Each structure stands twice: as C-alpha cells, then as structure tokens.
Amino acid sequence: MRIGILGTGTLAAALGEGWSRAGHEVV
C-alpha cells in the first residue's frame, strides 16, 4: 500500500517509520 504523509513534524516521522517497518511504501 502506498501512503503519503503531509507534514514534517515528529508525528509524521513516527508514522512514516512505523508504516515503512510494516512493509508499506511511504512517499
């Protein structure tokens, strides 16, 4: 699944890291 995250804060970074570890493609 492709996930796009808007924002560059710590919340966005934490979500992106968690989703990429789960195998999702974070863009």
3-27, pLDDT tens digit by residue? 777 777 888 888 888 888 998 888 8
How many domains does the chain fold into? 1
4 to 16, 20, 22, 23, 26: CA distances (angstroms): 9, 11, 15, 14, 6
pLDDT of residue 22: 92
DSSP run (H or E) holding 19: helix 10-21
**Category of 7 on φ-ψ map: left (φ > 0), alpha (ψ -120 to 50) or beta:** left
13 to 2, 6, 23: CA distances (angstroms): 16, 10, 16
Domain span at residue 1 reads 1-27
Instruction: Give me the amino acid identity at 12.
Output: A
Q: What global pTM score does this model have?
A: 0.54
